[in-house]
Copies of this chain bind each other. A is one copy, B any other.
Amino acid sequence: MTQTTILPIDALFSRVEAIFLKAGLNAVQAGALARVIVAGERDACKSHGIYRIEGALRTVKAGKVKPDAVPVLDRNEGSAIVKVNAGGGFANPAFELGVPELAARARKLGIAALVINDCTHFSALWPEVEAVTNEGLAGLVMCPSYATVAPTGGNKPLLGTNPFAFGWPRKDTSPYVFDFATSVAARGEIELHRRAGKQLPEGWAIDADGNPTTDPEAALAGAMLPFGGHKGSAIGTMIELLAGIMIGDLTSPEVLDYLGTTTLAPFHGELIIAMSPEAFAKGRPGDPFARAEVLFEAIVGAGARLPSQRRFAARKKSEAEGVSLTAAEIEQLDRLLDKGLDAIA
C-alpha cells in the first residue's frame, strides 16, 4: 500500500508558495503560481498540479523568466482594451492584476478585452476562464504556444497547440467551462507513448517529411496535427493572429526561435475577452442564466456530459477532505523547498 498524506488546500498552497519564494520569486509571482498549481492539484488535474513546479523553476533557472517581475496595469481609459505588461514574469500575476479592471470594463461596456504582454505562459487556461465567470461574465481565452503543430496540408510545424478556452457563469453551481488544445493531442501525450513504447493513434502526427506517422519518435521530430482537420487548423491560425500578432506579441514559430526548446514554459502574450450576458440580453425576453440552465439540462438529459465535471467533482472532494499526496510527492516538495533552484538539473 502506498503511503499518502492528506493536506488541506491552504496548507498545500503555503508549501508551494514557500518553494517559489525560496527559489527567488517575488511575492506576486510566487503567490499567483502557487494558486494555479494548487488549483490543478485540487481538481485532480495532475498534469497541471505540483508536477509543474519543476518546469516553472527550470524556466527561472534558464533565465527565460524574470522571477522578480512586477506586472504593470495600463488601464487604457476610454477603450475596451485593458493591458497588463507582465514585465518578463509569469502570466499568472499579470492576469490577477488585470482581471478586476477587465470585469469592470466588460460590465460597463458589455464586452472588453484584457491583453497580457511579455509574459511566460504557465499552465492551463481554465483557472483564468473561471476567474472571469466568477465575475458573472462569459469569458474567451486563447494564446499561442511553441510551433509544434503543422497546419492541415502542410509539412512542418508552424502553429502551437494553441489552447482555446471558454466559460459561462452559472448561479449556485460550477461554471460551464472548456479548455482544450487545438491540436489532436497534447505534446505530453506523444511523449508518454514514446516512453511506453506504444504506437500513436492514426491522425495525430506527421514525420519530418510531412507523411502521416504513428511512431512517437518520428512524430516528435515532425509535427502534431490540428484537431478536426482544416477546421481546427483554421482556429489554431486564428489564435496566432489574434493572441500573437494582433496583441503585438510572439507567434508560436517566434516563441520556438526565442527559446530554442519546448522544455521551458513559453514566452508570449495572451488574449482574454469578457462579455456581460446582462448587458447583451438587456431589453430582450428571458433571463440568460436561467435559459442557459435549460440548455445544460437538455444536454445532460440526452446523455452527453458538460465539460470539466470531473474536475469539479474532484474539487468538491478536495475542499471537503483535503488533497491526497503520495510519499514521493511530499518528498519532492520537501526537496524543492530545501534546495530551491539547486534541485533543478
Contacts and interface: CB of A to CB of B under 8 A. Distances in A.
Interface of A: 78-81, 109-113, 115, 117, 138, 150-156, 158, 166, 168, 176, 178, 180, 182, 210, 227-234, 237-238, 240-242, 245-249, 251, 253, 273, 275, 277, 279-286, 288, 291-292, 295, 298-299, 302-305, 307
A234 B180 contact: yes
Contacts of A109: 78-81, 109
A248 B286 contact: yes
Given A79-B110, A112-B80, A288-B246, A302 B154 contact: yes
Contact of A275 (B182, B246, B283, B304): B246
A204 to B, nearest CB: 13
User: Majority SS of interface residues in chain A?
Assistant: mixed
Given A284-B247, A288-B248, A295-B240, A304 B111 contact: no
Nearest to A296: B237
A243 to B, nearest CB: 10
Contacts of A176: 237, 241
B228 A158 contact: no
20 contacts: A79-B110, A109-B109, A111-B112, A138-B241, A138-B242, A151-B299, A153-B304, A156-B302, A158-B302, A176-B241, A180-B231, A227-B228, A233-B304, A241-B295, A245-B277, A246-B277, A246-B280, A246-B281, A247-B284, A251-B295
B237 A81 contact: no
Contact of A298 (B81, B232, B253, B304): B253
Contact of A249 (B210, B233, B234, B284): B284
A230 to B, nearest CB: 7
Closest 3 CB pairs of A and B: A248-B284, A228-B228, A154-B304
Q: How many copies does the complex hold?
A: 2
A110 B230 CA distance: 29
Nearest to A184: B228
B158 A298 contact: yes
Contacts of A248: 280-286, 288
Contacts of A138: 241-242, 246
B245 A288 contact: yes
A81 B280 contact: yes
Contact of A150 (B152, B180, B302): B302
